[in-house]
Structure formats: structure tokens, C-alpha cells
Amino acid sequence: MGKLGEIRITGGIPLNGQVAVQGSKNTALPMMAAALLGRGISVLKKCPRIADVFCMEEILQGLGVHSWWEDHDLYLDCRKAERGKNAADGAGKMRSSVILLGAMAGRFGEGSMGYPGGCIIGKRPIDLHLYALRCLGIDAQEGETEIRVSGHPLGGHISFPKKSVGATEQAMLAAALSCEETTIENCAREPEIWWLAKCLTAMGVRIQGAGTGCMHIQGRKSLKPYSMKVPPDRIVAGTYLLAGAATRGRVTLLEPPGGELNTFLELYSKMGGQFQWNSGKLITDSQKVCFPLPYVETGCHPGFPTDLQSPLMAVLAGIPGESAVRETIFEERYGVAEELKRMGAEITVRGDTAYISGKEELTGASVKAGELRGGAALVIAGLSAHGETRIAGCQYIRRGYENICEDITRLGGKAEEEAGEYLYENIRLLEKPE
Ligand code: EPZ
């Protein structure tokens, strides 16, 4: 296996300037699955060129989809899609592959997919996905190495016992090609759900209630392809604003995700951050960031997003005073705390809560990313630390951040990636996450 790359950061420089926000990973992936439902060429405009998208692209190619890129526009020609054999191969590299099950049942009336991978932030079960498929009359069987579905989806009534973004997307994709009505209760309300509904509506599906807790979906026997811009990534946007907060700089986001960062911005203000919306830009000033956060908890949207929990912890580690962050979505999302402690952070994890005694300054060190957002947290900590930080495992960061080093440099910071020998050209994933 080739040498994995690492990111080298020189900390202590306030980030100043403006930066564009890439397309949303967690919106692009379900949009790619939706393309399979249409018998034509769908286009994802301003699609992020990240490892998870390339991985999903490969899985779709295994299903007979012809794909190509024109700059950041991804074309998916699904006219000749057919149930492929190696759909199971790429599945283990990412979480989203699992939502192709519903799309395959709709398109082909059968399909199989390897068990999903994804960041090691908890058990990541798929029981709610299987429940949703079975509610729509699909026979879903768990085999040794793959999940097999058979039967075209019927309409049905799904009532989720707990909110799940992926399982909600699974249900929407499965219901899209059913001519009967489907009702989904206790849906996830994340922006990604609303955007997927927008995409499916463009294809001809009738959807009411997207973004609320209850959705009504009226599918159709055949759907049109779509051409749609991938919205800006709210987690990347939050990551960059937190990098500004960690370095007490002034970061402006171009084309930020409007209305998707409200809870985050409330916390940012409580830390002393100042922001304003001005002609489509989000202008932030972190020079007065100095207040710890006595208690924060992650939650389903519109709560504070779990994907910003580790990046926030990295900022709080450098704000003197006592902070506490409670993770309510995933059961093992504090792995990065041990790495932050190597940089001098004082963090104690007790159950689902991390208690942080913030310090004036962290110290650069050699650390290792174990998953995507923990990796982003180490980048933030490195930017605020005194001296140099070397982050190994940057292939995890590349799963979700297209240009994190270039963007930091554009903001006046010092970050460079010593490229590893990637198995694929460009930035595709080299190794399967544990
Ligand atoms: C999506 O993961 C995102 N990934 C995650 O982002 C995000 O953290 C998460 O939603 C929550 O917002 C993508 O969109 C590709 P869930 P997903 O199903 O769908 C449990 C990132 O960094 N659950 O909403 O896998 C689950 O264990 C990634 O970009 C079941 O019990 O999350 C968790 O505790 C990380 N059974 C909770 O529900 C199931 O069948 C929420 O998970 C499915 C999930």
C-alpha cells in the first residue's frame, strides 16, 4: 500500500480574507443515487471533487452508468444502467452506498450492495434502512458480505422509531418510482433531505412536507433526469468559520449556505464572534472570540450539527475557561480528543460529554486523523497552535474537503499537503476505513 500523505500546518497566523464554499458532500451523494432513477443524463453542477463522490461515481459505473466531468459539473448518463455485479465492491469505502439499495429496487426491481463503510464514529447500523425498504414491500435480505433487495417498491407507510438522515433518503429514493403514495413519519429534517426532495421533484416526483417531520411522496413509473446545482456544504462552511475563530481572524464566506448555519452562528456569537450577511456573503470577525461555552449539545437539525462537534471542540480547547460538549447522535465521536491532548488540550470525556479546560495556546505536534471531521478538527487545532503540526491520515480529510490546504493558504494561513501515493489518480481513497 502506498505511503499515505500528510498535512503540515504552521500555526499562530490569524486567517483573513474570503473563501468560496465547495458543494455539499452530503447532498451530492444522495443526488447521485437519485440520478439512477432517471432514464437519461443527469447533471450535478458545482459538484465537489472529493473522494466520497469519486467512490459513489465508481459504484454507479459498476451499475452501467456512464459518467464524466466538465470542471465541477458531473454528468451521469443512466440510460444504459443495469444491475451490476460489482456494486458490492466499492460499498465498504463509504456510508452512502447503502442508499443505492432503494434506488436499485426502484430502477431494476432487484440489486445487491456490500455493507457500507463510513467514518468510525459509532456502530452505524442499517436497521432503519432495511425497515424502510420492507415497509415499501421490498424483500431485503442481509447476507454474509452484502445486502440483497428484490421486488419493485410499492407505496406504504413508514414511521421511523428514530430520526435518520440516510434512512430517510433511502425511503425517498425507494418511493420515487412507486406509483402509489408513501407516507414517511419522523423523517430527518436536515437540509440534505430538502435538497434531495428538490432533486426528485425536478425528476417528476410529487413530494409534500420535505424538511418537516412528515413527508407524503407520490412517485411515478418513470422519471426524467435532472440538472441541478449542488448547494454549498454547510459543514465545510462551519469548519472554515471555526478555523477563523481558532485563529481570531476575519473570514468571509462567498456563497455561503443561507439559513443552514443558524444554530452554529448562535454559538459563534456566544463565543464572542461577530458576523453579518452582506450581499450574499457571510462576513465574520473572530478577533473578540474569548468566551468558553459552558454547555453545548449536538442534535438533529435544526440543532447543532454533530459534524461540527469535533471542529468546535478544537476551538474551545484554545479558549481559556470551562466548556462542555455533549454528543447525542453518535456513540463514538470523541476519538479526536486523544490527538488534541497530544497538542496540549485538556479534555476529559465522561460518557457522551467532553469537558474541555481551554488554554491560552496549544502546541504543534504530530497527530493522526482517524475519520473525516476529527481530521478537520486537527487542522483547526494546528492553525491555532504554536509551531508546526503534522497530520497523518489526511486521506480521511480528503473524503469531504476538496481544497482545505489551498483554502487555508488563500486565507493567509500556512498549510500544505505532502501528497501520498494514492491508489487512484487525483484524490481517490487509498485505503478502506476500518
Ligand atoms: C449522515 O449519516 C451524514 N452522512 C453524517 O455525516 C451525519 O453525521 C449524519 O447523517 C447525521 O447528521 C452522509 O450524509 C453521507 P444517521 P447517516 O442515519 O445517515 C443511527 C460526515 O461527516 N442509525 O442520521 O449515517 C445512527 O447510528 C458524516 O459527513 C440507526 O440506529 O446518519 C446514529 O446514531 C458523518 N439505524 C443516528 O441513527 C440506522 O439504520 C443518526 O444516524 C441508521 C442510523
| CA distance linking residue 416 with residue 28, whole number of Å | 26
Ligand 1 pocket: which of 124, 163, 235, 304 to mutate (most atoms within 8 A of CB): 124
pLDDT band at 291 (very low <50, low <70, confident <90, very high): very high
User: How large a percentage of the chain has pLDDT more than 70?
Assistant: 93
- Asked if pLDDT for residue 284 goes beyond 50, the answer is yes
pLDDT for 142-168, tens place per residue? 988 889 999 999 999 999 999 999 999
Give the pLDDT confidence score for residue 119 in this predicted structure. Answer: 67
- Asked if pLDDT for residue 15 goes beyond 60, the answer is yes
Give the pLDDT confidence score for residue 424 in this predicted structure. Answer: 38
Give the pLDDT confidence score for residue 428 in this predicted structure. Answer: 40
User: Considering only CA atoms, which of 274, 350, 354, 275 is closest in space to residue 314?
Assistant: 354
Mean pLDDT confidence for 24-28: 98
Q: Is the CB of 124 under 6 A from ligand 1?
A: yes
Mean pLDDT confidence for 56-80: 96
**Degrees (nearest 5) of the Cα angle 104, 112, 36?**
25
pTM summary value: 0.95
In DSSP terms, 192 is beta-bridged to: none
Q: Is the CB of 44 under 6 A from ligand 1?
A: no
**Three cell numbers, residue 335:** 476519538
**Three cell numbers, residue 202:** 425536478
Residue nearest to atom 16 of ligand 1 (CA): 164
| Closest approach atom of ligand 1 to CA 300 | 12
Give the pLDDT confidence score for residue 123 in this predicted structure. Answer: 77
**Degrees (nearest 5) of the Cα angle 332, 337, 340?**
155
Give the pLDDT confidence score for residue 425 in this predicted structure. Answer: 36
Mean pLDDT confidence for 306-319: 98
> Between residues 117 and 296, which one has the greater pLDDT?
296
Using the mean position of ligand 1's atoms as its centre, give its distance from the Cα of residue 165 in Å: 6
- Asked if pLDDT for residue 358 goes beyond 60, the answer is yes
pLDDT band at 87 (very low <50, low <70, confident <90, very high): low
Give the pLDDT confidence score for residue 5 in this predicted structure. Answer: 81
pLDDT for 124-141, tens place per residue? 789 999 999 999 999 999
In DSSP terms, 157 is beta-bridged to: 183
Report in angstroms the alpha-carbon separations of 88 from 56, 78, 434: 11, 18, 17
- Asked if pLDDT for residue 88 goes beyond 60, the answer is no
Using the mean position of ligand 1's atoms as its centre, give its distance from the Cα of residue 124 in Å: 7
Q: Is the CB of 209 under 6 A from ligand 1?
A: no
Q: Is the CB of 372 under 6 A from ligand 1?
A: yes
- Asked if pLDDT for residue 224 goes beyond 90, the answer is yes
Residue nearest to atom 10 of ligand 1 (CA): 165
pLDDT band at 420 (very low <50, low <70, confident <90, very high): low
Q: Is residue 129 within 8 Å of 174, Cβ to Cβ?
A: no
Q: Is the CB of 119 under 6 A from ligand 1?
A: yes
pLDDT for 365-419, tens place per residue? 999 999 999 999 999 999 999 999 999 998 899 999 999 999 999 999 999 998 7
pLDDT band at 258 (very low <50, low <70, confident <90, very high): confident
pLDDT band at 59 (very low <50, low <70, confident <90, very high): very high
Give the pLDDT confidence score for residue 86 in this predicted structure. Answer: 58
Using the mean position of ligand 1's atoms as its centre, give its distance from the Cα of residue 242 in Å: 22
- Catalytically active residues, by annotation: 119
| Closest approach atom of ligand 1 to CA 130 | 40
User: Considering only CA atoms, which of 307, 358, 314 is closest in space to residue 339?
Assistant: 314
Using the mean position of ligand 1's atoms as its centre, give its distance from the Cα of residue 366 in Å: 29
User: Considering only CA atoms, which of 321, 258, 223, 318 is closest in space to residue 24?
Assistant: 258
- Asked if pLDDT for residue 364 goes beyond 90, the answer is yes
